[in-house]
Amino acid sequence: MAHDSTTLSRPPGARDDWTIDQDWNAYTQAEHDVWITLYERQRALLPGRACDPFLKGLDSLDLHRAGIPDFNRINEELKRLTGWTVVAVPGLVPDEVFFEHLANRRFPAGQFIRRADQLDYLQEPDVFHDVFGHVPMLTDPTFADYMQAYGQGGLRALGLGQLHNLARLYWYTVEFGLLETPEGLRIYGAGIVSSHAESIFALDDPSPNRLGFDLERTMRTPYRIDDFQQAYFVIPSLQALLDATLADFGALYVYLAGAKDIPIDAVLPSDKVFTRGTQAYARRGGRTAA
């Protein structure tokens, strides 16, 4: 799930907190088949690419069963492991609703699934992106605390006018984050692990920069919503990410209000460089040129 600061209106049938019933029995076999196709493709690709907590999360939630998971079933185990639950929502939700859910250890997940002709790209987060991509990491106690801290930080940031900076933190960590391990870089970001093509691009392609995570630097870097990223940020550990996020960002926002954005393809002298990207993919025109 992502959040959206544009004005959204609550769809008919959604509760005040924008949740709806998952209505698991209403999914068709064709919809379950879309999940199975996506699931099997990622399951074959991700060992050696996704980080251990993600792969372990898939196992502990038993997401290997065929078809779209029943949220009631996965919530029993998720709640036991870290106190999180998954709640169904119709699609994107407003910032304040999103932060409120995260601050209370509830992850809003899209109820619908993409069509069979949209396997590779979908702008709005569906149940595959949200549950396969996000929920396994929520079984990790440190990452679970990070997501809650992000929601609490979001509630504090409302009204301070710096939500675009905070959204970049989410984007470059929760959605597109990489983790440094003794075996090499591994994926923990949901936007990568739920995408077959980006699971390869993010680790193997010479085009993007791969840079050490730094809170302020990340918050000053714009991102791509429509294509592979031009920069990925690498955290040394989940604990380091959590530690960086527990502080009140009030003073940082005051600084950021007067700081310039960093160009999306820049490598700064202060960056820890894992890969200095060629940016060849973006220069060719990215997805539109493919």
Backbone angles phi, psi at 123, to 5 degrees: -75, -40
The CB-of-189 to Fe ion minimum distance in angstroms stands at 9
Contact string 93-132 vs Fe ion (x = CB under 5 A):
--------------------------------x-------
CB atoms closer than 10 angstroms to residue 1: 26
In 73-223 the beta strands, taken as DSSP E runs, fall at 85-89, 93-94, 106-110, 178-181, 184-187, 209-212
Q: Which stretch binds Fe ion (CB under 5 A): 29-37, 64-72, 189-197, 234-242?
A: 189-197
**Hey, which residues does 211 pair with through a beta bridge?**
233, 273
Which of residues 90 and 277 has its CB atom nearest to Fe ion in the complex? 90
Least separation in angstroms between residue 243's CB and Fe ion is 23
* 231-235/178-181 β-pairing: parallel
**Site size for Fe ion, by CB under 5 A?**
2
Q: Which of residues 30-89 bind Fe ion (CB under 5 A)?
A: none
Whole-number Å distance between alpha carbons of 57 and 243: 22
Q: Please tell me the distance from the alpha carbon of residue 79 to that of residue 248, in angstroms, as a whole number.
A: 27
Nearer to Fe ion, 147 or 234 (CB): 147
Query: 185 or 190, CB closer to Fe ion?
Result: 190
- Per CB under 5 A, which region of 18-26, 73-81, 190-198, 218-226 contacts Fe ion? 190-198
Is the Cβ of residue 53 or residue 125 nearer to Fe ion in the bound state?
125
Of the two residues 223 and 274, which places its CB atom closer to Fe ion in the complex? Answer: 223
Q: How far is CA 94 from CA 18, 86, 97, 106, 223, in A?
A: 9, 17, 5, 15, 20
Residue 118 CB partners (closer than 8 Å, separation 6+): none
Q: Which stretch binds Fe ion (CB under 5 A): 77-85, 186-194, 232-240, 255-263?
A: 186-194
Q: Which residues bind Fe ion (CB under 5 A)?
A: 125, 190
